[in-house]
Structure 1
Amino acid sequence: MAAQPQHRSIPVDSSEVPGPVRQRSRQACLPCRRRKRKCDGKLPCNVCQGYGYDCAYDSTTQSTTTSTSLKRSRSENLAPLQLPKKTMRLTHSLGGPSKGSTDSSILPGVIEPSKPRYVGRYSCIAFPLYVGLEVQATNLPRLHSFAYHTGVRKEPPCAVSHKIAEKVPWNIARSLIEVFTAVIHPVFGFLDMDRICVLCEKHWHGQPQDMAFEALICGILGLASLFNDSLHQETETWTVLHAKEILDDDVISRYPTLETIAAWILRTIYVRSTGRPHVAWLCSCTLMHLVEAAGLHHAPEFIMQAMGNTNPNPETSEIINRTAQVANCVHVLIAFEYGRSIMTFNRQILGHNSTIPRGPGFTSQLCSLLATIPTNQATHDVDTLIQELLSALEKLANTNVDHDFLVLLRADLTLSIYRRLRVLDPSLQQGQNDRVIAAGTTALPAARRLASQNQPWWNVVGSVFQFACSLLVMDTPASCEKLSETMDTLEMIVDRFQTHLAKEALSTVRQLVRASLEKKRKGVEALERVVGASVPDTDNPARESQIMQDIASLSPSLAAQLPIDLEYLWNMNFEMPL
């Protein structure tokens, strides 16, 4: 039996199918023309709307210049997953990378609006989408972790639930929100407090918000209670740990929303105010990783939408910018003070400092302070590093701040730079020491005011303590002159707070002062042996005056210190207060 001929299926152009004739567009948009796709001629067209391209049309007919530019684009072998034309122009104007560059701070990434998750365009998560665009698939793969593991175990369910409305009454929560708005928000102004107040009232009255919002409001209440003591310490601790439990849950942390990042900022500030430096640094690193995961470290024009075109409104963009910048400031501050590594993409965020409007708050001053800090600590050129630190020291001295906490913060950063310079070059010039002394001296009345107001900002004790240590190690007449006021300020703060850490700081400084006094006493005895003098008789003023004259003839600088330093330190009571 003869074999039946096999008929091959031949593709038929849709235009040849009987029925209504498809209306051909007279002009295709630029993205469709560049990709040789059928365009419906609308604005935006169906292709650009589906792929998230920047749909635009050429106002003139396709000229030789346009054809040449398209050929040039094809010859450069641009990837299908590319930025809109407007963004490409902006990248070029900002000095974007040339072909073959791998600078992750400039290369665009991909973000999925339904899950605010950002990945680099070279990520294994984004590659299936890249392949779909390459093969012109009708249904593009979603931005998803395909085959990330074998899947032999199910993911655990969410283990947290709404509890804050049951634990804290609404009237107390409302008063704490007012404290946060008045005390903390002016400095760390990255939240829309009007919107939060409306959502909080719903959250406490039968319309619970999502778990990320509960973590955010727990952070607000915990910080406000730290400054107001409206909550019992056990309730405050529970509130903070409840926020940590939410933020650490795998289901909640899977999608780093803006509220999740805001909650991490508040947690980092609380840990910096109450916890250990290593834990605070870890929190700040987690915070910055979440900023990267949400794509906030890039300006919106550097991010391509995976599906759709959901550009935020101006109000939301301002909140996004503020959140990214405050998160960066907190991380740089903690890492620089603690001497740990700083994440490398932070400078791009600080570079957009002008996006913080000059309003009644002090957030712009916070950003200005941290913008002076050199974050590139990987250089091996000591001379270059010293010059960067000296430049930062001068910029800090010229940065004006109007809030007492920021005055202390400026002193903290100045002292942090001084410690680095002291290690790199112990022979600092007198002018640099004067800048350090000036910054510390300005911080003393600010610390006294904050202590008298019972505002336990983390540097109320720390700034004064570090300033006292710096004055002792300088060991100059100018530094010894400021030591008395510094010790008086530290004693006043200790009497105000009466905490273990404050008493420990005062005791440590007194021990260092006692050691400095003993060192100077040995120096005086050595000088006395040189001139053949005996131990001074305190009941014989003429003899003591003669010894001072002998010391002055040998060391005028030491003689200048003795009336200020030894007389004060000799009569100081070094006993710890009960």
Structure 2
Amino acid sequence: MDSSSVNGSASGGSPPAQKRQRAKQACEPCRLRKRRCDSNMPCNMCTQFEYKCYYEKHPRKRSKLVEQHAIADGATGSSHSPEMIKSENNGNGTQPTVEDISKMRSMEANSGIAFTRLLGMRLDPSSGPKLFTFGWNLGSNSYIPPASTPITDILNQDQMYSLARLHFANVHPLYGFLDKDRTMEAISLRWSRPEACDMPDHLLCGVATLGILFSEGALTPVLPALVDSQKKTLESTSTMQPPCLADVQSWVVRCLYLRSTDHPHATWIASCTMMHLVEAVGLQLEVSSSVLHPAANDAENDPEIRRRTFWVARMLNSWVSFEYGRTRVALRGITAQLPTPKEGDYTADYVDLYSISCCLDPETSDKAGQWEEFLEKLDAYQPQHDGIALSKANLGLCGYRRLRLANPNLSGDIINKIINIGLRGLEAARRMAEKGMPWWHVANVPFQTICVFLAMDIRESLSHLATAMRTLEFVVERFRTVAMKEALKTARFLVRLSKKRKDEDSEVLGLSLKKDQPAEDPQPENLKAATTPSLPQPRLNGLSGLGGASGNSNTVGMEETPMTASSSEDWNLDVLNDSQFDWNYFLTHDMPAFNTFAPDGTM
């Protein structure tokens, strides 16, 4: 058919054949099942098979380079790294992937509770039953929540105000997940009009406990009562009933307190509980169409506060799990946006540091050059707060342990990066200790730096070991806790073990330099010149008697004129062949003898 015939048919009386019009966007059930959709609401397919018909926006797929440039230029409204977006939000900005949506629907399909709500919504969307435990079990009418002490019986209003101000001055700049104005207003109402206060006692108790840690110690006697009241209330509410945002925030505060004072196991368990409550509330979802996580519309759920609570909780659980060697709680389909930077608030900066540490997750596979790139990014990161500087140093030490596992032979450049990160962490620890700031890394960074410097076992690291030891001793002197005293004893014990090994190695080297009897020498004729009587006696800067037979004369001579590095250049090499020279003493005379350990960890 030629062009004229085509034009003629197109302009003739018969209308041209109409092409099938594709739907602009398929609904989610049709898209996931790969069925034809007519884009109506509800569409014909969902009406026929009684599916819940809904639509979601899906961004076009872009190349990684374009995506990274878009993030770098602020297209996502954030200055955070593309690695963070990719690892936490599955590489699609703030939208879940098709796989995540499919898995979420499968989770809902597994749930009979969710099915009940879906059924009610299909029958009457305006008055469907809420998500609750219909038919879950027979139930019990005898459960009574355990009584907890009201905070008004523990503190007066002025004391609570004082502790809250300490919390917002010291904790809030790094972990800014509470609304300061709302909290202060709640404190006023709790003591004047309790029925009007919408902030639970367990959250106020948590704020007070952290405030006491940064106080002068006047209210320390009431600390156990506050901790016990918060613990009882949390375990009888948030873990026994569907939680709310305030419950999650209270668990975050509890995790911060446990990380500062308690065993790593207790901290890890609390952080995992916190993340399960995050999932129950749906904080990881920016806009939710999920049946299991309905969108929150109550007044306390400010979007920025929800985002900050989620990212602080995720950062805590991840880092505690990394440090304790346990599995973190992984959530699927994260769409929560990152915190918005504010003046005088370092929460967004802290999350930036967390974004660099995402590669430490053991679930991710190692790639070539991954750890070198991690240390370069970490070294280039400039913390704006000493608390963040301590976390940076801790991540650097963690990166060394991972890198050492992947490649035991590290380059000098990598070693220097790790040493410099550790030294800057020691400086931050000393500054925080001088101010009396009880952040956990004030103790952790000096101790772990000592361990890493000993593990490196090279002159570059051992030369800075004294700085790390003096910093740890300063922290112990400042806080004087039993745990810190035990940490110092352990650090000293490790240093002495390292020194003992080097002393033994030095002794072995000295024995290898001692010449045996000529009869036992395999080639004694090669060493005859060394035993001729015409050979002059060795002298060191006028010191005589080093080649004498008596060990006592050597000892006296050494004590009178100690050897220095410069004096060793005056030695005649012939002295190496003197059969009676005490090399064992020569190599070890300037080191104190290693005897034993006293119970208190001193020599």
In 2, Cα distance between equivalents of 1:141 and 1:302: 16
Describe the shift of the 1:142–1:171 C-alpha distance in structure 2 as closer, same or farther (beyond 3 A).
closer
Which residue pairs with 1:317 in the alignment? Answer: 303
Identity of aligned residues (%): 28
Which residue pairs with 2:445 in the alignment? Answer: 463
Greater Rg, structure 1 or structure 2?
A: 2
Q: 1:146 aligns with which of 112, 131, 134?
A: 134
Q: Which amino acid in 2 is paired with 1:129? A: R
Q: Is the CA contact 2:37–2:44 (under 8 Å) kept in the aligned structure 1?
A: no
Which residue pairs with 1:360 in the alignment? Answer: 344
Q: 1:445 aligns with which of 417, 427, 430?
A: 427
Q: How does 1:508-523 map to 2 (within 5 A)?
A: 508-523=490-505
Q: How does 1:146-225 map to 2 (within 5 A)?
A: 146-151=134-139, 153-154=140-141, 156-160=143-147, 163-208=150-195, 213-225=200-212
Q: Residues 150-169 of structure 1: CA distance to partner in whole angstroms, max 9, x if unpaired? A: 33x32513333561112211
Q: Is the CA contact 1:97–1:106 (under 8 Å) kept in the aligned structure 2?
A: no
2:354 is the alignment partner of 1:370: yes
Describe the shift of the 1:77–1:448 C-alpha distance in structure 2 as closer, same or farther (beyond 3 A).
farther
Alpha-carbon shift at residue 393 of structure 1 (Å): 2.7
Q: Residues 234-266 of structure 1: CA distance to partner in whole angstroms, max 9, x if unpaired? A: 311110110111100047741211111111000
2:226 is the alignment partner of 1:239: yes
Alpha-carbon shift at residue 360 of structure 1 (Å): 1.5
In 1, Cα distance between equivalents of 2:183 and 2:207: 10
Describe the shift of the 1:243–1:420 C-alpha distance in structure 2 as closer, same or farther (beyond 3 A).
same
Q: How does 1:399-478 map to 2 (within 5 A)?
A: 399-478=381-460
Alpha-carbon shift at residue 123 of structure 1 (Å): 2.4
Q: Residues 52-95 of structure 1: CA distance to partner in whole angstroms, max 9, x if unpaired? A: xxxxxxxxxxxxxx99444996458998675753x344698767
Q: 2:113 aligns with which of 122, 125, 128?
A: 125
In 2, Cα distance between equivalents of 1:428 and 1:311: 53
What TM-score do you get using the length of structure 2 for normalisation? 0.71
Alpha-carbon shift at residue 526 of structure 1 (Å): 2.1
Instruction: Provide the secondary structure at the position in 2 that maps to 1:140.
Output: coil
Alpha-carbon shift at residue 492 of structure 1 (Å): 1.2
The Cα RMSD (Å) is 4.0
2:104 is the alignment partner of 1:107: yes
In 1, Cα distance between equivalents of 2:289 and 2:124: 23
Instruction: Provide the secondary structure at the position in 2 that maps to 1:218.
Output: helix
Q: 1:326 aligns with which of 294, 308, 312?
A: 312
Describe the shift of the 1:346–1:97 C-alpha distance in structure 2 as closer, same or farther (beyond 3 A).
closer
In 2, Cα distance between equivalents of 1:182 and 1:573: 47
Q: 1:335 aligns with which of 308, 321, 324?
A: 321
Alpha-carbon shift at residue 519 of structure 1 (Å): 1.3
Describe the shift of the 1:264–1:68 C-alpha distance in structure 2 as closer, same or farther (beyond 3 A).
closer
Q: Which amino acid in 2 is paired with 1:330? A: L
Instruction: Provide the secondary structure at the position in 2 that maps to 1:125.
Output: helix
Alpha-carbon shift at residue 442 of structure 1 (Å): 0.2
Describe the shift of the 1:395–1:106 C-alpha distance in structure 2 as closer, same or farther (beyond 3 A).
farther
How many residue pairs end up in the alignment? 485
Q: Which of the pair has the greater relative contact order for Cα pairs under 8 Å at 6+ separation?
A: 1
Q: Which amino acid in 2 is paired with 1:459? A: H
Describe the shift of the 1:433–1:326 C-alpha distance in structure 2 as closer, same or farther (beyond 3 A).
same
- Which runs of no fewer than 5 residues in structure 2 stay unpaired? 1-22, 29-35, 62-91, 516-546, 577-587
In 1, Cα distance between equivalents of 2:296 and 2:273: 27
Q: How does 1:491-506 map to 2 (within 5 A)?
A: 491-506=473-488
Alpha-carbon shift at residue 429 of structure 1 (Å): 2.7
In 2, Cα distance between equivalents of 1:260 and 1:285: 14
Q: Which amino acid in 1 is paired with 2:309? A: T
In 2, Cα distance between equivalents of 1:572 and 1:487: 21
Q: Is the CA contact 2:209–2:223 (under 8 Å) kept in the aligned structure 1?
A: yes
Q: Which amino acid in 2 is paired with 1:192? A: D
- Which runs of no fewer than 5 residues in structure 1 stay unpaired? 1-29, 36-65, 110-118, 555-564
Q: Is the CA contact 1:211–1:252 (under 8 Å) kept in the aligned structure 2?
A: no
Describe the shift of the 1:361–1:481 C-alpha distance in structure 2 as closer, same or farther (beyond 3 A).
same
Q: Is the CA contact 2:37–2:43 (under 8 Å) kept in the aligned structure 1?
A: no
In 2, Cα distance between equivalents of 1:500 and 1:550: 54
